[in-house]
Amino acid sequence: MDKIAVLIPCYNEEKTVEKVVRDFRAVLPEAVIYVYDNNSSDRTVQLAEAAGAVVRHEYSQGKGNVLRRMFREIDAECYILVDGDDTYPAESAPEMCRLVLEHQADMVVGDRLSSTYFTENKRPFHNFGNSLVRLSINCLFGAKIQDIMTGYRAFSFAFVKTFPVLSRGFEIETEMSIHAVQRNMQVENVVIEYRDRPEGSVSKLNTYSDGAKVLGTILKLYKNYRPFGFFTVIAVVLALISLLFMMPVLTEYFVTGLVPRFPTLIVCGFVMIAALMLFVAGVILSSLLGKDKRDFEFRLQEAERWKQDAMQH
């Protein structure tokens, strides 16, 4: 088991990967630095090897797929995840590692938004999107994470070995943040100095399509982790619609004793039944979620025993 593993997912980062590897070797000389290449067509692999990194490959395209491979293959007491585009300062890594190794943090977030991100980043829709995602998750899940979409994080062994990677692309950061909050893991924020990509380095993030995937991921995870709230909101909306259209029919019945709009009454009745079924589904799924949380605590204990056994051998 490594003491510290620096994980760098890369796709066509020949402009910056060598500098990133050398910077992290300088501040974390005891760390093993892994570069996971994701089908690069430039000199990313050769430059990473020349800088002293251990290079491995993931052939399924997408950052989520790369992280799945990393988390599956590497055992370490502390993991540092950083992009290979040289936008994050290596100087913050020792403090992030300290919080994991000495302060028992499960995830440390490199917070760009509290420092230089909005001035350094030249893409206004990215600025808006990051603020929107942070507000959405902190409100929906009761979190206090300052930067949801950052690619600079530190993790404990327990987090990495119990985190189910479901996303394939850039929405993986959102998934990790929500998982940590929902599973009551210790999350710390470290303010970092963000810098924009150097000239000639191109972002792989598509503002609109990847932004839509991130929002879809938030909605999906809210349904999975907060089923009572999710289905209750839908049930209330359907019930209000049913009552809105049913009231004139009932009023006319009480006045005249007639029901001239019988189809409306039938449809409203079915809509109300659907609302009640959704509410019951939310109650049932919420109960199942409680069992899932208990099972997860046992998985955390198993991961800790696995870690102790690996360190002893």
pLDDT in tens, 175-233: 999 999 999 999 999 999 988 777 766 666 666 676 788 888 888 889 988 999 999 99
Q: What is the pLDDT of residue 205?
A: 66
> What are the pLDDT digits (tens) for 28-55?
999 999 999 999 999 999 999 999 999 9
CATH superfamily of 2-224: Spore Coat Polysaccharide Biosynthesis Protein SpsA; Chain A (3.90.550.10)
Report the interhelical angle of 172-182 vs 124-141 (nearest 10°).
Answer: 20
**Cα torsion at 36, 171, 22, 13 (round to 10°)?**
70
Is 124 exposed, middle or buried (CB count within 10 Å of its CB: 0-12, 13-18, 19+)?
exposed
- Is 90 exceeded by the pLDDT of residue 71? yes
The backbone region for 72, taken as left when phi is positive above 0, alpha when psi lies in -120 to 50, beta otherwise, is alpha
Neighbours of 195 (CB within 10 A): 16
Position 81 confidence tier, pLDDT thresholds 50, 70, 90? very high
| Whole-Å CA distances, 289 to 73, 86, 222 | 29, 40, 12
Residue whose entry in the numeric block shows the structure tokens 């760009």? 112
* % residues pLDDT > 90 (the chain): 60
The residues facing 57 across adjacent strands are 37
Could you count the other beta carbons within 10 Å of the beta carbon of residue 142?
A: 10
- Residue 202 to residues 12, 184, 196, 277, 306, Cα–Cα distance (Å): 9, 36, 11, 49, 40
**Rounded (5°) CA angle 161-162-164:** 105
Taking all residues of the chain, what is their mean pLDDT, rounded to a whole number? Answer: 90
Residue 96: strand, helix, or coil: helix
Domain boundaries, the chain: 2-224, 227-312
Structural contact between residues 173 and 150, judged by C-beta atoms closer than 8 angstroms: yes
Adjacency order of strands within the sheet including 76-81: 54-57, 32-37, 2-10, 76-81, 153-156, 107-111, 187-191
Distance CA 110, CA 191 (A): 6
The pLDDT tens digits for 104-129 are 999 999 999 888 777 777 666 667 77
Dihedrals phi, psi of 154, to nearest 5 degrees: -125, 145
